[in-house]
């Protein structure tokens, strides 16, 4: 009975031999099938980089006017994207209308933008919405010693120079809706179309008497206007009616003391019209970048703000644009699992790899599975061809054997055997291989014995003559 030490040694030897045999089989497999493996590798690389390309490392986003909340918000998104390895380039614009125009232009490099709801026509081609991220009230300020009633306020606004935003701004788009729904003419000579920062300076200098602006409460421009003591904020008492007449209009409330608790400004609640800021994207934008925008929106805009509660944004509010499928999945299921635990680039790469490899292996698996059989069939086919050559050679010997060419015949058989010795044979066909070599050896022996020479005299058995003589006379003693 073997000792424990011998058993362990035998186990180690068996494991080592198994590993060596497996490695040798693998190396031989690769040598035999490398053309097919190379083709599969090229297909895999092509599927990863062309069928499902990596997200771009650089992206251009349109924000809004200088000094607007969208400009400030864009910088926050820029920092977030930078932390995930994506460079987000910000482009200042006149506002939402220009942003939509740039997104629609297939030759423009802008792929995402902050856009006021309602600024784009319904179901604009080539554009998708990722949802709304905040409220942007429609602020109207007018110069007066005291707040005015509705009709007086409207007259004060339109009968004196008033800035309603540049023609490609969201402010101008909302102002047009408000003017038209009140039955007024948009061609009023008192309307000015200056950028917000220029309009604020003109208001301070008395060049205009009022101005409207669409922006968030914490916008630098809005804060400047709220702190100007000679201005009054317009209260839209009929905001609910406006919201029902105009689909893109929402309603928010400025509470008592919302501007200053110390001064109790305003002294009563103010109802304001509001739109929402949407993230609109080019529908060609990489799906992973859409998810990154949504994750950034939840991190940046999901916090509590002056007009929204924590977790209220992002969400779908405006239904006039095509909704991104990625956004619908995000709102239903939340952040993709991999992106919760990994850096964006790694999670995206693994997810893309999984999506690409799943159909690839569905195609490649039966091919790879058949490769060992391919190798065996290839060797078996070569053995069969050598059997065929040996058979024809033997038939040639049987029909036209020439004794003086024996060395030629043996040379041909030696060449066959050298070919057989040069073959790399898997274990599964080794029996066929050694049978072939035995057959070659059999034919060689037949040649050596001149078995194929039909004219050779048969060899006579050797007779012991002495024994025969003794048996013949029967006289031996």
What are 164-210's pLDDT values in tens digits? Answer: 999 889 899 999 998 889 888 888 899 999 999 999 999 999 999 99
445-455 pLDDT, tens digit per residue, is 998 888 888 65
Give start and end residues of each alpha helix (H) in 246-343.
287-300, 325-333, 337-341
Residue 51 has pLDDT above 60, yes or no: no
Q: Which contiguous run of DSSP H or E holds residue 376?
A: helix 344-400
Q: Cα 155 vs. chain centroid, distance in angstroms?
A: 55
- What is the predicted pLDDT for the residue at 308? 93
Instruction: Report the candidate in 419, 354, 373 with the shortest Cα–Cα distance to residue 393.
Output: 419
Q: What are phi and psi of 278, to 5 degrees?
A: -110, 150
Instruction: Provide the pairing of β-strand 127-143 with 191-192.
Output: unpaired
Distance CA 178, CA 274 (A): 12
pLDDT tens-place string over residues 317-355: 977 899 999 999 999 998 887 788 888 878 777 776 676
Q: Of the spans 293-302, 387-396, 426-435, which averages the highest pLDDT?
A: 293-302
pLDDT at 16: 84
Q: For residue 221, what are its two tokens?
A: 């421009």
Burial 205-225 (b: 16+ CB within 10 A, else e): eeebbbbbbbbbbebbbbebb
> What's the average model confidence in pLDDT over 132-136?
95
Contact status, residue 174 vs residue 138, Cβ threshold 8 Å: yes
Element (H, E) at 18: helix 4-46
Counting residues of the chain whose pLDDT is more than 90, the rounded percentage is 48
Which tokens sit at 23? 């490695």
Map residue 85 onto helix, strand or coil: coil
Using the structure block, give the residue that is written with the tokens 């200053």. 260
| Gap between the Cα atoms of 385 and 294, Å rounded | 65
43 CB contacts (<8 Å, ≥6 apart)?
A: 360, 364
Closest CA to 335 of 298, 368, 372: 298
Distances (CA, A) of 227 to 141, 197, 215, 223, 248: 11, 15, 16, 6, 29
Q: What is the mean pLDDT of residues 52-78?
A: 91
Residue 467 pLDDT: 45
85: left (phi over 0), alpha (psi -120 to 50) or beta: left
**Rounded distance, CA 442 to CA 431, Å?**
16
Structure tokens at 165: 């935003």
Tokens read off for 207:
């060049």
Contact criterion met (CB below 8 Å) for 134 and 304: no
Residues 234-249 have pLDDT tens digits of 999 999 999 999 888 9
Domains within the chain, CATH numbers bracketed: 14-37+354-448 (no CATH), 58-335 (3.40.190.10)
Q: Answer with the residue of higher pLDDT: 357 or 218.
A: 218
Give the long-range contacts of residues 236-245, CB within 8 A, separation 24 or more: 236/138, 236/271, 236/272, 236/273, 237/150, 237/271, 238/150, 239/271, 239/272, 239/273, 242/178, 242/181, 242/273, 243/273, 245/181
Question: How does pLDDT run across 415-425, given as a tens digit for each residue?
Answer: 999 998 888 78
Return the DSSP state at 447. Answer: H
Residue 456 confidence (pLDDT) above 60: no
Q: How far apart are CA 7 and CA 71, in angstroms?
A: 76
Nearest to 137 by CA among 263, 258, 229, 282: 258
* Confidence (pLDDT) at 349: 73
* Nearest C-alpha neighbor of 218 from the set 303, 285, 330: 303
Interstrand relation of 270-282 and 110-116 (parallel, antiparallel or unpaired): antiparallel
**Per-residue pLDDT tens for 355-404?**
666 666 666 667 666 666 666 777 888 889 998 999 998 898 888 888 88
Pick the closest to residue 134 from 161, 110, 114 (CA basis): 114
Confidence of residue 47 (pLDDT cuts 50, 70, 90): low
């Amino acid at each position: 009975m073997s000792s424990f030490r011998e058993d362990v040694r035998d186990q180690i030897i068996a494991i080592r031999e198994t590993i060596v045999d497996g490695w040798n089989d693998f190396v031989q497999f690769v040598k035999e099938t490398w053309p097919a493996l190379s083709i599969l590798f090229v297909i895999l690389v092509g599927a990863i980089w062309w069928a499902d390309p990596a997200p771009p490392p650089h992206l251009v986003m349109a924000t809004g006017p200088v000094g607007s909340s969208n400009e400030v918000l864009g910088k926050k998104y820029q920092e977030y994207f930078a932390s995930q390895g994506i460079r987000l380039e910000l482009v200042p614009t006149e506002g939402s209308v220009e942003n939509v125009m740039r997104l629609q232009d297939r030759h423009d490099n802008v792929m995402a933008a902050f856009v006021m709801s309602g600024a784009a026509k319904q179901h604009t081609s080539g554009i998708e919405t990722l949802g709304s991220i905040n409220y942007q009230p429609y602020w109207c300020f007018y110069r007066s010693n005291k707040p005015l009633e509705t009709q007086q306020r409207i007259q004060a606004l339109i009968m004196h120079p008033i800035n309603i935003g540049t023609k490609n701004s969201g402010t101008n788009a909302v102002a047009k809706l408000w003017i038209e729904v009140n039955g007024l003419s948009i061609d009023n000579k008192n309307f000015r179309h200056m950028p917000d920062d220029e309009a604020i300076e003109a208001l301070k200098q008395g060049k205009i008497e009022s101005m409207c602006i669409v922006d968030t409460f914490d916008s630098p421009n809005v804060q400047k206007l709220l702190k100007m003591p000679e201005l009054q904020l317009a209260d839209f008492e009929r905001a609910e009616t406006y919201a029902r007449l105009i689909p893109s209009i929402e309603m928010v409330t400025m509470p008592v003391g919302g501007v200053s608790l110390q001064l109790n400004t305003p002294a009563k609640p103010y109802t304001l019209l509001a739109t929402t800021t949407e993230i609109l994207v080019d529908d060609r934008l990489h799906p992973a970048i859409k998810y990154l925008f949504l994750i950034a929106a939840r991190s940046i805009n999901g916090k509590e703000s002056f007009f929204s509660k924590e977790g209220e944004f992002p969400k779908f509010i405006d239904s006039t644009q095509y909704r991104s499928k990625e956004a619908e999945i995000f709102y239903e299921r939340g952040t993709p699992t991999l992106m919760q635990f990994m850096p964006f680039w790694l999670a995206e790469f693994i997810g893309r790899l999984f999506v690409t490899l799943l159909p690839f292996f569905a195609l490649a698996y039966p091919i790879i599975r058949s490769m060992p059989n391919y190798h065996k069939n290839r060797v078996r086919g070569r053995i069969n061809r050598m059997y065929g050559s040996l058979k024809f050679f033997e038939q040639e010997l049987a029909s036209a054997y020439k004794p003086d060419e024996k060395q030629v015949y043996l040379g041909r058989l030696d060449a066959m055997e050298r070919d057989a010795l040069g073959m790399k044979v898997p274990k599964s066909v080794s029996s066929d291989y050694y049978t072939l070599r035995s057959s070659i050896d059999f034919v060689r022996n037949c040649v050596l014995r001149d078995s194929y020479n039909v004219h050779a005299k048969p060899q006579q058995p050797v007779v012991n003559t002495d024994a025969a003589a003794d048996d013949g006379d029967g006289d031996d003693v």
